[in-house]
Amino acid sequence: MIGVNLVGAFLGAKHAARVMIPMKRGGGGGSVLFTASACTAIGGLGSHCYAMTKYGIVGLARNLASELGRHGVRVNCVSPSGVVTTGVGGGGRVKSEAEVAEVEAFFSEVGNLKGRNLTVDDVARAALFLASDEARYVSGVNLLVDGGFSTVNPSMLNAMQIG
């Protein structure tokens, strides 16, 4: 996991920067965008190894933003919470559409934005924003795409509700 999530991110950024740095001379620059995770904002959302690699990506992004900014290169992270899809799940098992619907119903209820689920399109839109000229002065950011999940702890509110 460390090799793919962290070393892979580092090597990708290294080679992208080698292309982007010379582009500044022509008025260019560039944008490096990493995928981290909402587990970088709230504990307990992933395994220790997964969380460690995603925190590492955020740290790498911030350091690179500092280093590459003088070359006109922006560096950011998009950090989604869980996107539920069919495909390979835990233990290499394929998740059925029924299992996906069950998990979506759960997240729809416990999430901060009731009745909604995070989709791959939501994550793509956030990534497109960070990579676009609309975000030309945004660098070193870890954009959480979690519907406010990381900012709200409903435990106290739930405990205070009567009947």
Catalytically active residues are 37, 50, 54
For residue 11, the surrounding DSSP H or E stretch is helix 8-23
Residues in the chain: 163
Among the listed residues 144, 127, 1, the one whose alpha carbon sits nearest the alpha carbon of residue 82: 144
How does 28-45 read in b/e, with b if 16+ C-beta sit within 10 Å?
ebbbbbbebbbbbbbeeb
For residue 80, the cross-strand partners are 145
At 134 the three-state DSSP class reads: helix
